[in-house]
Chain A
Amino acid sequence: GAGVSQSPSNKVTEKGKDVELRCDPISGHTALYWYRQSLGQGLEFLIYFQGNSAPDKSGLPSDRFSAERTGGSVSTLTIQRTQQEDSAVYLCASRPAGGSYEQFFGPGTRLTVL
């Protein structure tokens, strides 16, 4: 079956512009996560959606970052007034309902802020 997909795969933007990154999770997966991976670094948790519960936004680095998940499926991560330090790979992962803790990752969106 299809895995997690993300678009665009690459995004180059100018400092101060807004960007939207999209994640299509695996069909039927109830949990969705966003992470940020800076060059040569580990994964930094950003936000977590679980079903219809309020999202866990505890990892968002500033109020310039926001995310939504429509209809319990597709999610969009928005970064307003981008800064050069926002340059990173943004990864989305989804997880099925039930007892499995495995997260299935998409290929990521590489964001470059000039």
Chain B
Amino acid sequence: QQQVKQSPQSLIVQKGGISIINCAYENTAFDYFPWYQQFPGKGPALLIAIRPDVSEKKEGRFTISFNKSAKQFSLHIMDSQPGDSATYFCACKAAGNKLTFGGGTRVLVKP
């Protein structure tokens, strides 16, 4: 059973464009929704996170939009840069502080 579904699997965007990655979850007990960024050969690193009591969170060029009723959330990367080329994972946290990850989205930003 795939509890967290992430789409698309890959994304190509021109420099300056907007990258949008979507995640959908099933478990209503999830209470924390982070996005992690992973560069080749490195471990994932926290990019931005949101709790279910807010609908949007923005940090610089990165924004999470959260729709609790639809059980969906998305990451928007504004003014995408070549340095943003990486794999992005959404995740959901339930009790016990365990994260359930989506399948990942490989983003390529073309100069």
Contact = CB atoms under 8 A, between A and B. Distances in A.
B101 interface: yes
Contact of A43 (B46, B49, B89, B97): B89
A71 interface: no
Interface string B46-78: 100100000000000000000000000000000
Given A42-B104, A43-B89, A50-B97, A101 B44 contact: no
A106 B97 contact: no
Contacts, number: 55
Interface in A71-95: 91, 93, 95
Dominant secondary structure at the B interface:
strand
Interface in B1-55: 4, 6, 32, 34, 36, 41-46, 49
Sorted nearest first, the 5 A-B pairs with minimum C-beta distance are A105-B43, A43-B101, A42-B103, A42-B101, A102-B46
